[in-house]
Structures are given as C-alpha cells and as structure tokens.
Chains A and B, each alone.
Chain A
Amino acid sequence: MFTTVVTTQKLFGMFELDSANSIIYSRLEREVRGDEVPANDLRGYRLFEDASHFSNADELRRRVNYFRAEGGQADSFDFTCHYDDGDVPVRVLLARVGERSGDGSTKSILLHIRRRR
C-alpha cells in the first residue's frame, strides 16, 4: 500500500486512536530539530501508516492492537523506535478511554509516547 508520511517529526505526545488506529486527537510534544517537518494537526491520519516514520512502527502497532484485544484497562512498556538517524528509546503508556458509545463499549484508546532518558 502506498502511503505518504505527513511529518518527519519524531512522535512524542498523546494520541487518541479509534478502533482502526486513526488519530482522533493529538497533542504533540515538540522536539522539532534541524530539517524536521513539524506536524500541526494529525487528526484523521492513521498513526502507524501516515504519521510514523520509524522503521519498526509495525511492532508498535502490534502492541497497540494486542492491548486492544486483550481487554486490560492500562498498560505501559519500554520501546525503541528505529529512526533513520538513530534509535530513540521511549516509554509507551496505553489506556482505554472510559467513554461509552451506543452499544455500551469503549472504542478508543489513549497512547502516550515519551522519550525515555
């Protein structure tokens, strides 16, 4: 599938994702440097296909999908994003949003990615 990544900015911040991992809400923590292209609004984009440009985004998507399928309320783990200019260790927090939809189930999740020191 052909995709264009909408930003070269490294992804740190808070994202609310729908069941297809499209971004409903984003609050980026800016660490824009050099020739990185900052993202303004990522709403509507698919996080892992359109907005992530680290090479192992598939692994993170697998983690997010596993969390969604497993049914826990929250989870956190260390992850290393493989960017072209080097590895970036991050801490990932996942939480279910306690909002009820028409059928009584929660549909979206919060994903917080922060740099690990």
Chain B
Amino acid sequence: MGNNLTDRNEQVRRLVDKSFYGSPLPPGDGHRAFPAKLWHAPEAVEAGALKGLLANRVLHALPGEDFEGLLPSLEPVTLSVRDNLGDASEARHVYFPEDAVFSHLVVFEDGSTVETAMTGREGVVGLGSVCGHHAPTHWPRVTLPGAALRMRADLFRQEFAGREALRRLLLEEMGRHAAQVSQRAACINRHRIESRLCAWLLMLHDRASSDDLPLTQEFIARRIGARRAGVSEVFRTLQERRLVGHSRGFVRVVDRPGLEAAACECYEVLRQN
C-alpha cells in the first residue's frame, strides 16, 4: 500500500513539474501558476492523467471540467511537522493532502494541545477560509510529513463561490469534519487512554503511506491530550502484546487487526464517516 502511494506521489510531482516547466514564479508568497498557454490548452497539462494519479479524494471526485479549472492554482508541496501553517486567522492556503496528515489542534493558554480532528487524503484543510470564521485557538498542524497540493485561500474562495460541484463536495467534507470533532469530543470524555490511542494510531495508519509512522511518545501525548507517562505505559502494553513496535522516533503498526480489537468503538464510527 505504502510504496504504491509513494510512487504515485512521485508521478504526480513529475507531471505537475512537467507542466510547470518554463513557467515564471509570480511575485508573492511562492505560489506558482501554470502558464496562460496551458490554461487555454488543458490537454497539454495532462489533467486527466494527473487527476487519475491523485490520492486526494476531494480533488479526485471533482468533475473533469472543475478539476481542470482548479489545476492552474494548485501547487504541489512537501510538508514537514515543523512547517508553520499559521492559525486559522493567518492561513494563506488551503491544503489537499496526498500522504501528508494534518491535525486540527485546540491550543490552550499554557501551550498544551489536544487534537480534535485529523485530515488526510480524504479531505481538505483550511476550510475556515471559506466559512469566514477564524478561531484563534484552532490550529492546523502537520502530524505526518508528506505531500499535498495547496491553493491560495483567496483563489480558493473564488472557486468555492463559482463551482457548484466543488461547493457540494466541500460541504460534505465540512459535515464529515464536524462529525469527527463531535465523536472525538465524546471519545476523550468516555474512553480510556489505551483504546483512544489505538484508535488514533489506526486513523493515522489509514491515511499514511507506510506502516512506520515517524512519531515520538512525547509528540503523541501532545496530540491526544494525555500525559507522556500515560502514553509510555500504554506503549509498553501494546508492545508486549505485539500490536506495535517502537524504536527511536518511529512507531510501527505490527498487528492491525489486533489494534482494531483494542481500539474504542469510535474508530469504526470514524472510519465509516
């Protein structure tokens, strides 16, 4: 599974780079647009081939004409966990993840965090830019590094206003996001850390391109709103049961069915969401 997605990301990057060939970088924040001649000759950018290679389900589900309309504004990027995407009020881009995974964090005054939702290739990050609502305590952050396509928020707002199919897909995505937030709010109140952690790892594994997840226990604790000591204790148990492996900076999903059995009921609800 993982290698196929990595290969596909590389193919996407090559195709997009090929289309970018010779196009100048416009002034601004690094956003790249396709040359105008390609806009008028969409077959030259191999839009159909590109769409077929994309892992992002929202882009993939767009009708061909709408996808071709968006294509000139999409920019392929590789994201790391250190990338600062700004809080919702400063967000300049909307992201369509390929194998990158984003966490939607609530950040408390003391700097501690809890993840309220996770978005990977099934969705879009930065929808607040079309809602017009910016909560300064809600931040998107990269949890798993990887590839994504991004689009300037101002251009995205124009496309959202003008494209019925995109609007419908994004409203569905907002509904799924709201459902995930409410399910996880209930989960954190009701379920124990072990079953929550198993569900979280499975959600991440569903969106990742590998069984090896670059995560530290400290990082996981900050994402799921738990103490580091509690996470370490759970990992010891999961390793003893041979559900996961853990080496410096990496968690390996060893026994996925076993993890599913150990996860709380919320995982199945969220998976079907």
Distance from A71 Cβ to chain B, minimum over Cβ atoms (Å)? 7
Chain A residues within 8 Å of B86, by CB: 77-78
Residue from A58, A62, A76 whose CB has the most chain B CB atoms within 10 Å: A62
> Is A44 close to B, CB under 8 A?
no
Number of B interface residues at 8 Å Cβ cutoff, please give it: 18
Contact B218 A71, beta carbon cutoff 8 Å: yes
Chain A residues within 8 Å of B110, by CB: 65, 69
Contact A62 B107, beta carbon cutoff 8 Å: yes
Chain B residues within 8 Å of A63, by CB: 87
Sort chain A's interface into a size bin.
Answer: 20 to 34
| Cα separation A70 to B87 with both chains bound (whole Å) | 15
Q: State which residues 26-72 of A face B: CB under 8 Å.
A: 56, 58-59, 61-72
Contact A58 B112, beta carbon cutoff 8 Å: no
Chain B residues within 8 Å of A65, by CB: 109-111
> Is A80 close to B, CB under 8 A?
yes
Q: State which residues 60-115 of A face B: CB under 8 Å.
A: 61-72, 75-80
B108-141: contact bitstring with A at CB < 8 Å (1 yes, 0 no)? 1111110000000000000000000000110100
Interface residue from A56, A70, A77 paired with B136 (Cβ < 8 Å): A56
Contact B87 A59, beta carbon cutoff 8 Å: yes
Contact A61 B109, beta carbon cutoff 8 Å: yes
| Cα separation A58 to B135 with both chains bound (whole Å) | 13
| Cα separation A63 to B108 with both chains bound (whole Å) | 10
Interface residue from A62, A69, A77 paired with B90 (Cβ < 8 Å): A77
- Chain A's closest residue to B85 (CB) is A77
> Is B256 close to A, CB under 8 A?
no
| Cα separation A20 to B109 with both chains bound (whole Å) | 12
A-binding residues in B (CB < 8 A): 82, 84, 86-87, 89-90, 107-113, 136-137, 139, 218, 222
List 19 contacting pairs A-B, 8 Å CB cutoff, sorted by A: A56-B136, A59-B87, A59-B136, A61-B109, A62-B107, A62-B108, A62-B136, A62-B137, A65-B110, A66-B111, A66-B113, A67-B111, A68-B111, A69-B111, A69-B222, A70-B111, A70-B222, A71-B218, A77-B90
